[in-house]
Each structure stands twice: as C-alpha cells, then as structure tokens.
Amino acid sequence: MSPRFLLDTNILSGLIRHPQGKVFEKISQQGEERIFTSIIVACELRFTAQKKASRQLASYSPI
C-alpha cells in the first residue's frame, strides 16, 4: 500500500498563496489519489475565506 498524505490547513493555505511553489511541486509528485484533507480543514478554509472576504480562498473551498 502506498503512503497517503493528509494535508492540514497550513499546507493548503501555502498552496493557495503560492499555487506553483514548492508545496505544489511536492504534492504533484505524489499523485492526487494519495492526497487527502479533512472536513475540519475544509471548514477552516471556508471560515477564513468568509472572514477575510477572500475570493481566491473561497474559490478553493470545497464546501
């Protein structure tokens, strides 16, 4: 079984701030079938997007 990666809020925030940066490179090497996040992280991103009225962050929020 291949390792899986559970991404937290900090990692996803970094990816949103720098969509072509080092975090993106590392994640893209793993393959999307091995990358996950939690509903809590998704809600944190949604809350932050609404609080900051961030269109960029809101566009990435799956909820």
pLDDT in tens, 29-57: 998 899 999 999 999 988 888 888 766 65
Whether the CB-CB separation of 37 and 6 falls below 8 Å is answered with: yes
- Buried b / exposed e along 32-44 (16+ C-beta atoms within 10 A): eeeeebeeebbeb
d(CA 63, CA 61): 6
Write out the residue range of the structural domain in which residue 39 sits: 5-60
**What total of structural domains would you count in the chain?**
1
Q: Tokens at residue 3, please?
A: 């390792």
Write down the pTM of the prediction.
0.71
pLDDT (average), residues 16-40: 90
